[in-house]
Homo-oligomer: A and B are copies of this chain.
Amino acid sequence: MKLFKHLLFFTALSLLSFNPLFADGKIEEVLSNISVSPQTQTCLGCHIKHTPGIARDWLSSRHAKTRPAEAMKKPALEKRMSAESPPKELQEHVVGCYECHGLNAESHKDNFEHMGRRINIVVTPRDCGTCHPDEVGQFTGSKKSYAYKNLMENPVYFALTGTITGIKKVDNNILTIQKPTEATLHETCLGCHGTQVEANGLKTVATKLGSIEVPNLTNWPNQGVGRINPDGSRGACTACHPRHGFLIEVARKPYTCSQCHLEPDVPAWNVYKESKHGNIYSSKGNTWDFSSVPWKVGEDFKAPTCSTCHNSLVVSPDNEVIAERSHNFGARLWVRLFGLIYSHPQPISGDTTVIKNKDGLPLPVTFSGDVASDYLVDRPEQEKRLNAMSSVCSGCHSSTWIKGHFSKLESTIRETDDMTLAATKLLSAAWDKGIEDKANPFDESIEQMWIRQWLFYSNSIRYSSAMTGAPDYTSFKNGWWYLTENLLHMKDWIEFKGEIKDKD
């Protein structure tokens, strides 16, 4: 085994000079025109052949063409790298395999010896922060970076999660719910929220080149945005900047966001696609420039995508800043449309497990609608954020237009909350009569109708309202039609169940 590894290592090195692969234009160009570090040359020696897809993807990336030493010198608005002075040893080579997978080895429990080098399997936000500290700093305080914790360590949310994803058994007509398995959590909720990736020693795996020893990782692979990493950090930049091109173009296009923000619970993508903005994007987006920094409204693009409104650095064609870049995706949000169970001001901390409402539950609102204001941003902060968002709108729209739009949203938030309250009242009465059991408020039929009211329908309408111009989503598709029909069904179902119960 040891011999085999050394053999490979030297083969890899030798490949650089006479492997016919490197005779093709692209590879040679890379090696002659750009400054690839010796470590990364070793990596490429094998991986250009054995995982050509990602190696070539990297070759097409900005990382493969840029030395931090140059990137540092860009004018402020054009900077893509926020580190004032990244470590000296990284400055003079392009950002290749080893520059990322070799960072901070000491804190990486997934570090292992691979072909003579110490390599981390998982590259984490802490690693990316070496060159992009501002972005990682913003992200680290945000709800996104707490996506795992906020779900798994909030007993109320976890009760919902477990109720949905746990296997049900039927024996003698009795239905019981088991604890969800790690595998199923991994590919349901934690597919977006991120898994807990831990390194449990080494294991031997068979590869095309023979068997090798690699860290034994739990819940891997996963790119969820709040992933718990083997270096103790939270998050996965690759959730939005997929490997190994890491293109800003991809992160700015709405498909990236659509992986997690979609119907029925968070229908941001579905609504956007049907909105006027989305229609214009679909029709003309292929002629826009999704790579330029800063991003010029009217010149680089004619209608916003998700990132325009939520986090990109947007400027006018004469470089006047319309919106600052932020990787805290809540930075321009004043209200949380995502009802839990009612809409409410955005939480102050990205860690929402700290919230306690008047009923003592870790929820931003009580079941009857009381808001846990101490944990939520106050009115002045809300105004500030609304202004930040309005500034983006003002790139194209007049003040009247913008105010008209947001006052409609305000009315919609109020009305959808009322429609949730109506459902809560029906459910409460059913609980009071013993028709269903409040102990777990999520595991019976009427309770699940109630969940639909806020998690699917009220949410959908609010998202549609916020991205005006998707009337079908407010009217029919998971909108008012369903809000109404669902209430009527709840009412009837409570009567049917009540009838059965009375007879018992």
Contacts of A352 in B (CB 8 A): none
A56-B302 contact, Cβ under 8 Å, with A223-B276, A242-B276: yes
Closest Cβ of chain B to A300, distance in Å, is 10
CA distance A319 to B148 in the complex (A): 42
- Chain A 251-297 residues near chain B, CB threshold 8 A: 253, 255-256, 258-260, 262-265, 274-276, 278-280, 282-284, 286, 297
Other-chain contact of A395, B20, B52, B220 (Cβ < 8 Å)? B52
**Using a CB–CB distance below 8 Å, which chain A residues touch chain B?**
20-21, 24, 49-57, 60, 121, 163-165, 167-171, 173, 175, 181, 183-184, 186-192, 205-208, 214, 217, 220-221, 223-224, 242, 245, 247, 249-250, 253, 255-256, 258-260, 262-265, 274-276, 278-280, 282-284, 286, 297-299, 302, 316-318, 320, 394-401, 403-405, 407-408, 411-412, 415, 418-419, 421-423, 425-426, 429, 443-445, 448, 464-465, 468-472, 474-477, 479-481, 484-485, 487-489, 491-493, 495-497, 499-500, 503
Contacts of A253 in B (CB 8 A): 282-283
Contacts of A242 in B (CB 8 A): 276, 279-280
Question: In the bound complex, do residue B298 and residue A418 qualify as a contact, i.e. CB atoms below 8 Å apart?
Answer: no
A298-B56 contact, Cβ under 8 Å, with A242-B280, A472-B192, A480-B188: yes
- Smallest CB gap from A47: residue in B: B398
Contacts of A168 in B (CB 8 A): 419, 422, 484, 487
Count copies of this chain in the complex.
3
A480-B396 contact, Cβ under 8 Å, with A175-B491, A471-B187: no
Closest Cβ of chain B to A157, distance in Å, is 13
CA distance A336 to B195 in the complex (A): 28
Question: In the bound complex, do residue B54 and residue A396 qualify as a contact, i.e. CB atoms below 8 Å apart?
Answer: yes
Other-chain contact of A206, B245, B399, B407, B412 (Cβ < 8 Å)? B399
Closest Cβ of chain B to A135, distance in Å, is 20
Other-chain contact of A279, B164, B169, B256 (Cβ < 8 Å)? B256
Question: In the bound complex, do residue B302 and residue A279 qualify as a contact, i.e. CB atoms below 8 Å apart?
Answer: no
- Smallest CB gap from A206: residue in B: B399
- Smallest CB gap from A487: residue in B: B168
Contacts of A21 in B (CB 8 A): 317-318
Contacts of A423 in B (CB 8 A): 170
Question: In the bound complex, do residue A400 and residue B164 qualify as a contact, i.e. CB atoms below 8 Å apart?
Answer: no
Contacts of A220 in B (CB 8 A): 400-401, 404
Closest Cβ of chain B to A33, distance in Å, is 19
